[in-house]
Amino acid sequence: MIGRSPVRVAVNGYGVIGKRVADAVRLQDDMELVGVCDVASDWRLRSLDHKGITLYGASEETARSMNQAGLAVAGTLKALVQAVDIIVDCTPKRVGAANVQHYRARGIKFIVHGGEKHAVTGHSFVADSSFTTAVGRESTRVVSCNTTSIVRTLSALKRAGLLKRARGTLLRRATDPWESDAGGIMNTLVPEGEIPSHQGPDARSVDPELDVVTMAVKVPETLAHLHYWVVQLTRPAEKEEVLQAFRESSRIALIRTADGLTAINTVKELMADLDRPRDNLYEVALWEDMLRTEGDELFYAYMVDNQAIVIPETIDAIRALTGLASDAHSSIARTNASLGIRQRFF
Amino acid sequence: MIGRSPVRVAVNGYGVIGKRVADAVRLQDDMELVGVCDVASDWRLRSLDHKGITLYGASEETARSMNQAGLAVAGTLKALVQAVDIIVDCTPKRVGAANVQHYRARGIKFIVHGGEKHAVTGHSFVADSSFTTAVGRESTRVVSCNTTSIVRTLSALKRAGLLKRARGTLLRRATDPWESDAGGIMNTLVPEGEIPSHQGPDARSVDPELDVVTMAVKVPETLAHLHYWVVQLTRPAEKEEVLQAFRESSRIALIRTADGLTAINTVKELMADLDRPRDNLYEVALWEDMLRTEGDELFYAYMVDNQAIVIPETIDAIRALTGLASDAHSSIARTNASLGIRQRFF
């Protein structure tokens, strides 16, 4: 890698994920953020100037609107694509799939996110599990927040030879904190209409060997998802052996109710106290003292910050596709160091 | 039963459960509500006059306070106990256990609720499962809302020879709708600190044969609990066979998302539309179209109205202890008819 010039990265879509990817790319010394592209011209893009990030419009028309709104625009997506090695698509669900032909026509590498189907790229990415098969590819899909957490945790159990099958109940946050009109619910619980929910099959798009079934329900809060798992182990195991398996993953942080971390809001507050940007929790925060084994059964719960968990995966995916790293271990270590990812918070 | 005079019933504690038990007792033609006892003197007891229910004070001092507040008081708990055959204790957790010696000293039968431990009466009650062993006893404990729903559903599977073991994740409503300062939470999720949660062992206090483990989490809503289950069956079974097992229980109502019943608030609204008092949902409302079998595994979700589900059980418990009925079937049928309990809502 020594002497290699930084990989030039673009981010398309400056929303919940895109803004975090942009920040994270700027923290990598082997990457350069060339610019971000969006379609809005309101407050959401007004902080780019403050941050020194270059803005592009999705089309000529968008660029004109941005200009008229007083935003400095460097050009259109077409120009941005010509100036980079790889683009990270963080546009809303299904928009990304439509953008893909554009990226392919320009011959650049690209990453889509979990809102798109596996077939859009033919490869689904979680660094712990599918880094190697992504190396040098044209594209990959960084899977959703829920799926990322599932693959991280179940892969850890699998590597330890403990995983037989896993059954999870997923409490999904209703909407993102900044939203006021997209899916917010109050004083109710809204089951996903289908059992199993889509996350189980989605995890198998990363690792087809995982025997996993999920059920999901939307709950009236905005902070994070919360997963409860019943795992059938390959054999009876003690709690400590399971914890050790989770400790082998650098992106699972063990937390304890005994430390007062009794709810998802306290964990988010801790992230702020640790000076994390946007209170990001990149790790799966898994309650060590709640975890229980009974014979060959394992029970545990963890928290998933749906806004932040896929950010380190996206950084690793950039390294895999562009050949900045050829093995998961070195990329993960580099990403973790840059974002301050840790296995214990104190 | 013909010619037998109604059993005289008292209710101690006019809260969420007590007020519903009182209403339900008054709907039974083999029971007479002699009066209710409480310790408050505020708005909570002001509707008794409107309803024509006689009020007693827990102590001389309470009775005086009630009098001073302008409430009509017929006497103290001591007098009420002497005028009845059975008392249903609906006082807060642990208060009931303290009251028990008082009931025993007076030689009357009594029922406590799920906030008390099994040892307080030595018998735990769900009509579907433990009616017969309660017949003629001095006392029983009607188990909590969550436990009642667990025993109803798992007993149905057990009777059909399908139940091997069941693992549930319980989303618990944060507080009761009328409360404003007891446990309400906002924009967070609060796991119960221990896995397994207490409901699994509690279900075994009714039926020691049930192999059941539960995990629980408090969610920011007030309407109802929601349970998700993964059940290992004794053998592979089709969905229809499982549904038929649930249909054999008269207190499980099958509902469908296809009818627009997509969330717990819509089910509560339906109860209001059906002219149920206080929108009570006495049944376990189980989503028929979400239920799924995969080989020898079963997945499903249901809703538990924590304010209402134990009311029919309490009525049946009165019949069992006082000998008004000697078998579950006749009592359940009578209770169901009086409360309008049904297996389909339309």
Tell me the pLDDT tens digit for each residue of A247-295: 999 999 999 999 999 999 999 999 999 999 999 999 999 999 999 999 9
- Residue ranges of the alpha helices (H) in A54-137? 60-68, 77-82, 95-106, 127-134
Give the closest of A169, A187, A221 to B187, CB-based: A221
Nearest chain B residue (CA) to A268: B188
Query: Which whole number is the average pLDDT over A12-37?
Result: 98
Determine the pLDDT at residue B3. 65
Segments of A234-325 assigned E as strands: 252-255, 284-287, 292-294, 297-304
- B326-B332-B335-B338 Cα dihedral, nearest 10 degrees: -120
- Under 8 Å between Cβ of B41 and B66: yes
Determine the pLDDT at residue A182. 78
Query: Which whole number is the average pLDDT over B77-89?
Result: 97
Distance in angstroms (rounded) separating the CA atoms of residues A200 and A155: 13
- Under 8 Å between Cβ of A292 and A299: yes
- Under 8 Å between Cβ of A167 and A240: no
Give the closest of A193, A220, A263 to B221, CB-based: A220
* Contact (CB<8Å) A190/B291: no
Distance in angstroms (rounded) separating the CA atoms of residues B126 and B111: 12
Cα torsion B331, B337, B340, B346: sign = positive
| Nearest-CA distance A224 → chain B (Å) | 8
A1: pLDDT strictly greater than 50: no
- DSSP structure string for B273-302: HTT-GGG---SEEEETTT-EEETTEEEEEE
Q: How confident is the model at residue B4 (pLDDT cuts 50, 70, 90)?
A: confident
Which of B179, B185, B197, B228 to mutate to test binding with chain A, by most A CBs within 10 Å of its CB?
A: B228
Determine the pLDDT at residue A94. 86
| Nearest-CA distance B176 → chain A (Å) | 11
Determine the pLDDT at residue B182. 77
**Taking CB atoms and an 8 Å cutoff, what residues of chain A touch B259?**
none
Distance in angstroms (rounded) separating the CA atoms of residues B297 and A166: 12
Per-residue burial over A186-210, b if 16 or more Cβ lie within 10 Å, else e, is eebbbbbeebbbebbebbbbbbeeb
User: CB count, 10 Å around CB of B83?
Assistant: 15
| Nearest-CA distance A59 → chain B (Å) | 38
Residues 6+ apart with CB under 8 A from B311: B17, B20, B21, B24, B280, B282, B339
User: CB count, 10 Å around CB of A6?
Assistant: 15
Asked if omega into B196 is within 30° of 0 (cis), the reply is: yes
| Nearest-CA distance A177 → chain B (Å) | 10
Asked if omega into A177 is within 30° of 0 (cis), the reply is: no
A202: pLDDT strictly greater than 50: yes
A28: pLDDT strictly greater than 60: yes
Nearest chain B residue (CA) to A197: B290
* Contact (CB<8Å) A169/B300: no
- Under 8 Å between Cβ of A135 and A326: yes
**Is B145 one of the annotated active-site residues of the chain?**
yes
B223 part of contact set with chain A, CB < 8 Å: yes
Distance in angstroms (rounded) separating the CA atoms of residues A183 and A173: 10
B14: pLDDT strictly greater than 60: yes
B1: pLDDT strictly greater than 60: no
**Taking CB atoms and an 8 Å cutoff, what residues of chain A touch B221?**
186-189, 219-220
The dihedrals phi and psi of A283, each to the nearest 5 degrees, come to: -85, 160
Query: What is the bridge-based pairing of β-strands A163-173 and A225-233?
Result: antiparallel
Determine the pLDDT at residue A180. 84
Determine the pLDDT at residue A2. 54
Distance in angstroms (rounded) separating the CA atoms of residues B152 and B157: 9
**Taking CB atoms and an 8 Å cutoff, what residues of chain B touch A188?**
221, 223, 263-265
Determine the pLDDT at residue A3. 65
Q: Binding site annotation covers B306? A: yes
Rg (CA), chain A: 20
Which of B171, B176, B188 to mutate to test binding with chain A, by most A CBs within 10 Å of its CB?
A: B188
- Under 8 Å between Cβ of B121 and B44: no
Query: Which tens digits make up the pLDDT trace of A76-121?
Result: 999 999 999 999 999 999 898 889 999 999 999 999 999 999 999 9
B257 part of contact set with chain A, CB < 8 Å: yes
Distance in angstroms (rounded) separating the CA atoms of residues B155 and B161: 10
Q: Binding site annotation covers B38? A: yes
SS (H, E, C) B235-279: CCCCHHHHHHHHHCCCCEEEECHHHCCCCHHHHHHHHHHCCCHHH
Centroid of chain to Cα B158: 21
Domains annotated for chain B, with CATH where assigned, are: 7-143+310-339 (3.40.50.720), 145-304 (3.30.360.10)
Nearest chain A residue (CA) to B230: A167
Query: What is the bridge-based pairing of β-strands B109-113 and B139-142?
Result: parallel
Query: Which tens digits make up the pLDDT trace of B273-294?
Result: 999 999 999 999 999 999 999 9
B334: pLDDT strictly greater than 60: yes
User: CB count, 10 Å around CB of B178?
Assistant: 11
Determine the pLDDT at residue B2. 54
- Under 8 Å between Cβ of A298 and A292: yes
Distance in angstroms (rounded) separating the CA atoms of residues A106 and A81: 7
Nearest chain B residue (CA) to A176: B187
**Taking CB atoms and an 8 Å cutoff, what residues of chain A touch B289?**
193
User: CB count, 10 Å around CB of A234?
Assistant: 14
Query: Which whole number is the average pLDDT over A296-323?
Result: 98
A333: pLDDT strictly greater than 70: yes
Query: Which tens digits make up the pLDDT trace of B152-163?
Result: 999 999 999 999
Q: Across chain A, what does the average pLDDT equal? A: 96
A219 part of contact set with chain B, CB < 8 Å: yes
**Taking CB atoms and an 8 Å cutoff, what residues of chain B touch A228?**
169, 215, 217
B180: pLDDT strictly greater than 90: no
Select from B253, B279, B282 the least CA-distant residue to B268: B279
B173: pLDDT strictly greater than 50: yes
- Under 8 Å between Cβ of B8 and B34: yes
Determine the pLDDT at residue B51. 96
A207: pLDDT strictly greater than 70: yes
Query: Which whole number is the average pLDDT over B305-330?
Result: 97
Give the closest of B185, B217, B299 to A226, CB-based: B217
- Under 8 Å between Cβ of A17 and A307: yes
Centroid of chain to Cα A190: 24
Distance in angstroms (rounded) separating the CA atoms of residues A231 and A235: 11
B265 part of contact set with chain A, CB < 8 Å: yes
Select from A10, A1, A88, A106 the least CA-distant residue to A55: A10
B259: pLDDT strictly greater than 80: yes
Q: How confident is the model at residue B94 (pLDDT cuts 50, 70, 90)?
A: confident
| Nearest-CA distance A195 → chain B (Å) | 6
At B186, is the secondary structure helix, strand, or coil? coil
Determine the pLDDT at residue A100. 95
At A209, is the secondary structure helix, strand, or coil? coil
* Contact (CB<8Å) B297/A194: no
B150: pLDDT strictly greater than 50: yes
Calculate what percentage of chain A has a pLDDT beyond 70.
99
Query: Which whole number is the average pLDDT over B66-77?
Result: 97
